Amino acid sequence: MMQSIEFNTAEDEAVDVALAVAWAYGYSSVEELVDAEGEVVEVDDGLAVATSFPGGWSKPKMRRYVAALQPNARNILGVIAKNAPKVDVETVQIQSGLDGYIYAGSMSSFGFAAKNTHGVKDKPFIKYGKRYEMDKAIADLVVAVLAEK
């Protein structure tokens, strides 16, 4: 994804420009950008490119996504990730310990969180019929981010 950030040094404050750069890379603050733990930024033909996972995911974006989820949805996401790359819906429901109505009600949280996580294309998993699929690299990222909580 190519993004441009324009600013006028005579009018724009440095902190506002830095925040725009942070947001472009999926961080929610300048501090988060500066403190990014071990994330590699490669320079390719003069353009900085942040290392990311499939679907535009990065660790800061996953943190923001997980923070936007309701607790039951976080639980479900963890079960899907731990069973990646494929797991049946029934297995997820059983392992999450949620009854059918609560489980079903929790699912709306995923779409809401994805729409509010700048730079990602969709949820970190896909539902095919009666099973969920999640890329193994994304699953490892989810497990790591959930372990931080």
pLDDT recorded at residue 50: 52
Q: Report pTM.
A: 0.70
pLDDT recorded at residue 108: 92
For residue range 93-140, list pLDDT tens digits in order: 999 999 999 999 999 999 999 988 877 878 999 999 999 999 999 999
**DSSP annotation of 26:** T
pLDDT recorded at residue 123: 93
H helix or E strand, kind and range, residue 41: strand 41-44
For residue range 24-78, list pLDDT tens digits in order: 776 777 777 666 554 444 445 555 545 567 888 888 889 989 999 999 999 999 9
pLDDT recorded at residue 2: 64
- Strand 86-88's sheet: what is its strand order? 86-88, 131-133, 126-128
- On the question of pLDDT at 10 being above 90, the answer is no
- Cα(22)–Cα(19) distance, integer angstroms: 5
Burial class (CB in 10 A: 0-12, 13-18, 19+), 143: middle
Write out the DSSP string of 50-101.
Answer: E---GGG--HHHHHHHHHHS-HHHHHHHHHHHHTTTEEEHHHHHHHHT--HH
How does residue 17 score in pLDDT terms, banded at 50, 70 and 90?
confident
